[in-house]
Amino acid sequence: MSHWIILPIVLPLLAGLLLLLAPADALKLKRLLSLTSALLLLPLAAGLLMQTTDGSIGVYALGNWTAPFGIVLVLDRLAAMMLLLTAVLALPALWYTARGEDQRGRHFHALFQFQLMGLNGAFLTGDLFNLFVFFEVLLIASYALLLHGGGVERCRAGLHYVLLNLAGSSLFLIAVGVLYGVTGTLNMADLAQRVAAAGSSEAGLLHAAALLLLLVFALKAALLPLYFWLPSAYSAAVAPVAALFAIMTKVGVYAILRVYTLIFGSGAGELANLAGDWLWPAALATLAMGAVGALAARHLRQLVSYLMLVSVGTLLAGVALNSASALSAVLYYQFHTTLVSGGLFLLAGIIRRHRGEAGDRFTAAPAMLQRTPLGVLFFIGAVGAAGLPPLSGFLGKFVLLSSVYPGLQQAWLWSVVLGGSVVAVLALSRAGSRLFWRTAEGTVAAAPVDRGQLAAVALLVVVGPVLMVVFAAPVFDFVDATAGQLLLPSGYIDTVLGGAGVVPAGGAQ
Amino acid sequence: MALLVAIIIGIMVACGVYLLLRARTFPVVMGLIMLSYAVNLFIFAMGRLHAEVPAVAGLAGDTSDPVPQALVLTAIVIGFAMTAFAVTLALRASSELDSDHVDGDGGRQP
Amino acid sequence: MNSYFLPLIVALPFLGALLPPLFVRRGRTACAWSAALVTAAALALLLSVAAPVFDGDSLLFHYDWLPAYGFSLTFWLDGLGLLFALLILGIGLLVILYARYYLSEQDPMGRLYAFLLLFMGSMLGVVLSENLLLMMVFWELTSLSSFLLIGYWKHRADARQGARLALTVTGAGGLSLFAGIMLLGHIGGSYELSVLLASGDQIQAHPLYPATLVLILLGVFTKSAQFPFHFWLPHAMAAPTPVSAYLHSATMVKAGVFLLARLYPAMAGSELWFYLVGTTGMVTLLLGAYFALFKHDLKGLLAYSTISHLGLITLLFGLGTPLGAVAGVFHIINHATFKASLFMAAGIIDHESGTRDMRKLNGLWHYMPHTATLAMVAAASMAGVPLFNGFLSKEMFFAETLHQGWLGEWNWILPFGATLAGVFAVAYSIRFIHDVFFNGEPIDLPRTPHEPPRYMKVPVEILVALCLLVGIVPAWTVAPLLATAAASSVGAELPPYNLAIWHGLNTPVLMSVLAMVGGGVMYAMRHHLFALHARFFRPFDAKLLFERQLERVIAAARWLTMMLENGSLQRYMMLLLLSAVAMVAAGLWGRPLGGPLAPGEVDGVTLVGALALALSAVTTTIWHRRRLVALIQLSVVGLVVSVAFVRFAAPDLALTQLSVEMVTIILLMLVLYFLPQQTPAESSGLRKGRDILIAGAAGTSVALLAWGVLTRPYETIGDYFMEQSIPGGGGANVVNVILVDFRGFDTLGEITVLAIAAIGIVTMLRGLRLPTPDTDADGRPWASDRYPMILAVISRPLLPLALLVAVFLLLRGHNLPGGGFIAGLVTAIALILQYVASGTAWTRERININYVRLTAAGVVLAALTGLGSWGFGYPFLTSSFGHFHLPLVGDFELATAMLFDLGVYMAVVGSTLLVLANLGKLTLTKREATEGE
């Protein structure tokens, strides 16, 4: 049995612990450790992704207790994709931080690693309660990271973020409790089977639990009316943390994708595909309100946060459609939008340091020192964020839009998504013109822009999307297959539950 | 029995929720603790309540489902960690925003 | 055939865009050359493959990219594509030459050329793409690059606003076009033009045809500045004149009409097409012509005349007749040539005299006769004077307006409107010439004008020469290109037509004469007209209007966002909880709630406990404003809960709950020491009522869920654990075996959470300085004696005792209630007692542990235990146990799970102490002060 599957969890865990054991003042050592771990995660994730390309699903039975009794990690295409996305996003963010941002508070690197552990665990686990545990891991890490750097705004935003999510965790537990109380199991594949087999007398409880779970995930994914915490939280965080948070909303999207295709998917009989009816209106409304917020934004971080809401709306609208091509569009677009918004958060961080008093607010300020490289990056990033050609966002939107057949649904989706793009173009062009074109007299005394940080931004905003366009064909082959795998969960279920009987360990005399 | 337990849990949840909706950090934290008590009881109850002896292998008698107990243990610990974090954050906030209102000064910062 | 030239032709400008910024360091000429050579190279490639196109066949490059989604990289070169590519590259080359002399020293030349090349590449892509999605990509790229070009002079507000206006309008139109194309692809079953152009009837018969047409036309009209989307174009004049000359003669605005020509076989010919396209064209034609006459700004006049001429072309295609299309294509060529030269001329005048205001510019003939001549030729062509190319296409236009029959007895409207527009065209052309070059002496010009540098005039001369050649000997010059272009646009054999200058005396000629005379008269009485115009049209600025509307929208958006995100946690929390209630309600709605199981009867003890629980919970809530009291009540709740666990035979839970309880309360006490002791009464009665309702609803829904589950049977995986506990896990206490073995992974995560929380808390507490009150809420002074002696005396012996208990709990945990977590908490509490009793200093002297390290080490130990199982070829966290024999001690059992539990123990001790000790330290600052006394 290969142990590769668990490494994405164990590696950052150990790295984080070592970072705690390391002497407090050994900053260089810490950076080295942290970056090494992040760097290793990249080939690791890629390798795991390769393992899934033939459609096979890897199962890792922790403690050698096979499903449904023990906790299993399941590596299917979706999980592998999310791992890769996390790794791709984390490295530049960490690199950016290692150029100075990490001195603004203690234990940044350890917390960062723990956050990665939580993310990877959430993507890999095949057990509902274990998913809760990893949610808590990544949440507590995110709480601490959000406060990194201190200050009034972070405190205020952090308080809201923490208290809301704590309430959310209680709801999660209640939902899991009901599911266990009715089905007597926690393994998701097993749950899928038992839900499918459940009589209609159980349907009510299961339905309630399912919807409650959906609510919890919607809170993470920042769906109307539960997103109000997001803009202030994300604009308060330091740039690299905000960039990493770009994937936090996607955890919610992932969880929805997983649970509502596997457990409450097409096979769930009376409860089949129950999420769509709720997601559809909420997603479109979120998209619209995100666009409104983007118009209202007063500084770049705020604008990017709202654009992130727009993308969440787009993604979940696609999830609600629940068709093969819609899902592959979602998977493709999710990869794109996560990288781009992450990069723009980093860029906002740089700009903020180079416009003196004005920061990244859309007010006239003296021209930045290296306006050209920043301007180019912003322009490309804006094109990506608005989903305009030639970057990958356009492809994602095209596939999503063309996945619905003419009718009322199409009219809604098209008008809202395209309208959102128009607003995005409007807001971004306004922002760019204010930040880069309209300059006041005088100059700002600021250190020259750090090339390393520029590189980090370029990696996320330019290289990523461009590669996704150049290799669109293979990427789409993969996401199409992933969507197929999601819509046909029997493969997942059989692989997870088909494991051999428990091998009793021990007797080591 | 089932009815009684359900009602009690309901009452505790109600109290917790009411406290959650208060405007000051300390009551809210107390609400969270109350809520976690209720949730722990709830999960525990999901293992049904017909137990006479602890879930220890080899003991004669009707034992209750051990799984929810394990889940509750995990939940208690995590809840404790979260509560500790929340209450410390409340402390930090009260000094940063010199007010223990959940919104700091209660007003919105643009 | 070397079809791979096509993508190369498109790619060249994009790659070449990198050169100018590099070469600009080597001087402006080098920079211009780099741009020019790239363009020339592309042009050469184009010409090298052009020949066969004239014989009517076309060149195709096909690469399957995303076949599943109909997205292929397909380029083709047919007549229409060739014509446009030639215009784009040819005029592009002239513009590059012109710009070299137009730009001033301080303008960043490299940037302009880079943007220009980007734009050129996008335009080439639009006209050479065979796959409509690919075309769409380049279409949006033209909007983006034109945005950069128009905003080139970024320090000027009008440039910035003009750029954003253009981007918004054309970008929005582009997205509508995108939707239209997707519909078209859905109807036609492909995005390849080769397929779509062949299935015109099928498309026009489809019920979605109207929607498709409207969406596509929105894209076309916005791009080609057709009424009512024309308003962005005049403001695009804020761009440097070379840019205007390029965008508004041959390229940007022509993209729209290009699409009309391109999709003609697929979309045109229907009644709807005629009414939409024809009407829009006619209105734009007249509107543009009218306003052009009244612009005092040279470029403004040209801008509106551009709008007018685009309207003319649109109208021609709107007629839906093959000859109309021919005329349309022809006028595209002619307009490109004369309008480009006119813009350049205007640029020269502006450049040399410092203004573009025709009320100041007079009599420039004496200063720049050469330029004047060139301008006159071009203007004559614009007016449609015989012997100039504009005349030919205008005659065809007039003729076509006579030959359409859609409007029945209203048919006369078209020729009438056409002639009227002709009148205006003549008038503003005369004005362009007469006002500027004659009409008295110049009025206080910024600088005295003179002829421009030699090479600045070359491009104009070339264009003007073309105007003449085409105008005089069309058959030998433009005919073949026009024929092939028009043919490929119509997509069928062209009816015979004749490019002669004189067709004999017929109605079109009369219309021309009418236009000439009328134009002359109108110009003669212009002053009255200006007065009249000023009376009816008070000058209004679309750009300002746009900006003002935008500001309004933004204000509204801000208001709405404020309304939703008022920054009040209470509201967000309410929304979350209400949604939760709604979800449960929606789930349970209309479905059986209670199950078959008998609820089971209640015994007295349980009832009493339940009542106590309910009472303490409620009192906690009621007294929550008196925080200390509420806290005590809360602890009672916790205690009763742990008792409840005992009642239902869950000793592990009871122990854990109890110990966590203690630590939590200590923690809250510590925190409360710094917080207000009272919660101010600020919730209104209404608010309280609302919250009580929500709370009630939430409680009810959870209660319902519990009731529903408890009254139902279920089969659980729990039984399996009961069986496997000893054989598989080597422990009798199933709960503990689950924690450290079956679901050890959860526990690993759990202690990680604990560790992270502790780290986070310590980070938060750093540098936190709090005012420490002297008295409690009721004004009683806090005890001043540092460490109560009795407590110290009692607590010290307690420590070893507690540790003993801890070890005991830890060891037996696997088989009997206990385990690492409880043991850890017991230890922690005992140690905390030392802190409280004897103070940090005393304790630190004796127990000097770095708690962060201890915590980390604990988790490491747990993780390593997990990794250890790899050594035996088992998965992570596989436990193994065995019976060992030591002399004297005898047989005893060890399980790796115990090692794991030890890790848990360390992590718990570490993190708990980390938190409490650090919180406790906060109070020291004050205590130390009193210590000295």
pLDDT at residue A492 is higher than 50? yes
- Residue C885's pLDDT is 62
The whole-number pLDDT of residue C772 equals 66
Q: What is the pLDDT of residue C779?
A: 64
Q: Are A177 and B32 within 8 A, CB to CB?
A: no
pLDDT tier, B110 (very low <50, low <70, confident <90, very high otherwise): very low
B9-27 pLDDT tens trace: 999 999 999 999 999 999 9
Count Cβ neighbours within 10 Å for each residue of A367-381 and write b for 16 or more, e otherwise. bbeebeebbebbbbb
Percent of chain C at pLDDT above 90? 62
Confidence at residue B33, expressed as pLDDT on a 0 to 100 scale: 96
ipTM for the complex shown: 0.95
Kindly tell me if the per-residue pLDDT of B107 is higher than 70: no
Q: Which tokens in the block code for residue C448?
A: 């005295």
- Say which of C760, C766, C878 has its CB closest to residue A144: C760
Q: What is the pLDDT of residue A498?
A: 83
pLDDT of residue B57: 75
Give me the pLDDT at residue C535, please.
83
Model pLDDT for residues C468-496, shown as the tens digit of each residue: 999 999 988 899 999 999 999 998 888 88
Mean per-residue pLDDT over chain A, rounded: 93
pLDDT in tens, B25-80: 999 999 999 999 999 999 999 988 877 778 777 776 777 889 999 999 999 999 99
| Beta pairing, strands A365-366 & A439-440 | parallel
The predicted model gives C70-92 an average pLDDT of: 95
Q: What is the DSSP letter of A437?
A: I
Chain C residue numbers touching A391 (CB-CB < 8 A): none
What's the confidence (pLDDT) of residue A505?
37
Could you tell me if C602 lies within 8 Å of chain B, comparing CB atoms?
Answer: yes
User: Cα–Cα–Cα angle for C17, C21, C27, nearest 5°?
Assistant: 125
Interchain CB distance below 8 Å, C754 and B5? no
pLDDT tens-digit series, residues C27-58: 999 999 999 999 999 999 999 999 999 888 88
Stretch (H or E) spanning C77: strand C71-77
The confidence band for C805, taking pLDDT boundaries of 50, 70 and 90, is confident
Chain B, residues 87-106, CB within 8 A of chain C, namely 87-92, 94-95, 100, 102-103, 106
Percent of chain A with pLDDT over 90: 83
Q: What is the mean pLDDT of residues C568-575?
A: 94
Interatomic CA distance for residues C653 and B76, integer angstroms: 9
Q: How far is CA C157 from CA C151, C350, C585, in A?
A: 9, 20, 56
Q: Is the pLDDT of residue C394 over 70?
A: yes
Q: Given this model, what pLDDT does residue A356 score?
A: 82
Per residue in C525-562, pLDDT (tens digit) is 988 888 888 888 777 778 888 889 999 999 999 999 99
Q: Residue C621's closest CA among B11, A184, B5? A: B11
Strand-strand pairing, A58-61 and A72-75: antiparallel
**How many Cβ pairs closer than 8 A exist between chain B and C?**
308
- Smallest Cβ–Cβ distance between C707 and the set B3, B73, B89 belongs to B3
pLDDT in tens, A343-356: 999 999 999 988 88
Q: Which of A10, A134, A190, A388 to mutate to test binding with chain C, by most C CBs within 10 Å of its CB?
A: A388
Percent of chain C with pLDDT over 70: 94
Give Cα C240 to chain centroid, integer Å: 29
Residue A169 with chain B: CB contacts under 8 Å? 78, 82
pTM of the model: 0.94
Rounded Cα gap, residues A208 and C586, in angstroms: 7
pLDDT digits 0-9 by tens, C438-449: 988 888 888 888
Q: Looking at beta carbons, which residues of chain C come within 8 Å of A379? A: 148
Instruction: Tell me the average pLDDT of chain C.
Output: 89
Residue-by-residue DSSP string for A201-256:
HHHHHHHHHHHHHHHHHHHHHT-TTS-THHHHHHHHS-HHHHHHHTTHHHHHHHHH
Question: Radius of gyration (Cα) for chain B, nearest Å?
Answer: 18
Q: Which of A1, A124, A120, A13 is nearest to A72 (CA)?
A: A124
CA distance B35 to chain C (A): 10
| Model confidence pLDDT, tens digit, residues C653-695 | 999 999 999 899 989 988 898 888 888 888 888 999 999 999 9
Contacts (Cβ under 8 Å, ≥6 apart) of C210: C272
CA contacts within 13 A on the Cβ side of A372: 4
- CA separation for the pair C353, C359 (Å, rounded): 13
Inspect the interface and report whether the beta carbons of B11 and C614 lie closer than 8 Å.
Answer: yes
pLDDT(C179) > 90: yes
Say if residue C932's pLDDT is above 50: no
Helix axes C109-128, C5-16, angle to 10 degrees: 160
- Separation CA C924–CA C432 (nearest Å): 88
**pLDDT of C918:** 85
Residue in A with minimal Cα distance to B70:
A129
Instruction: Quick: pLDDT tens for C893-930.
Output: 667 778 888 999 999 999 999 988 888 777 665 554 44
pLDDT of residue C678: 87
Cβ-defined contact of A173 to B67 (cutoff 8 Å): no
Q: What is the pLDDT of residues A269-328, one digit of tens each?
A: 889 999 999 999 999 999 999 999 999 999 999 999 999 999 999 999 999 999 999 999
Mean pLDDT on A131-147 = 96
Q: pLDDT tens-digit profile of C114-162?
A: 999 999 999 999 999 999 999 999 999 999 999 999 999 999 999 999 9
* pLDDT at residue A442, rounded to an integer: 80
Instruction: Specify the 3-state DSSP secondary structure of A439.
Output: strand
Q: Closest approach of chain B CAs to the CA of C875, in angstroms?
A: 22
Q: For A132-136, B46-50, C18-22, C296-300, which range has the lowest pLDDT when averaged over its residues? A: B46-50
Position A501 pLDDT exceeds 50: no
Give which of A4, A5, A20 to mutate to test C binding, by max C Cβ within 10 Å: A20
**C842-881 burial by CB neighbour count: b if 16+ within 10 A, else e?**
ebeeeeeeebbebbbbbbbbbbebbebbeeeebbbbbbbb
DSSP letter assigned to residue C447: S
Query: How many Cβ atoms are within 10 Å of A356's Cβ, its own excluded?
Result: 16
Best of C583, C588, C894, C900 to substitute, by most chain A Cβ atoms within 10 angstroms, is C583
C789 pLDDT band, cuts 50/70/90, is low
The mean per-residue pLDDT over the stretch A130-156 comes to: 94
Query: With a CB-CB cutoff of 8 Å, which residues 474-513 of chain C face chain B?
Result: none
C-facing residues of B in 23-82 (CB < 8 A) are: 23-27, 29-30, 33-34, 37-38, 40-42, 44-58, 63-67, 69-70, 72-74, 76-78, 80-82
Torsion angle of alpha carbons C697, C702, C706, C707, nearest 10°?
10
Residue C69 pLDDT: 92
CB–CB contacts below 8 A, A to C:
334
pLDDT > 70 in chain A, percent: 98
A159 with B43: Cβ contact below 8 A: no
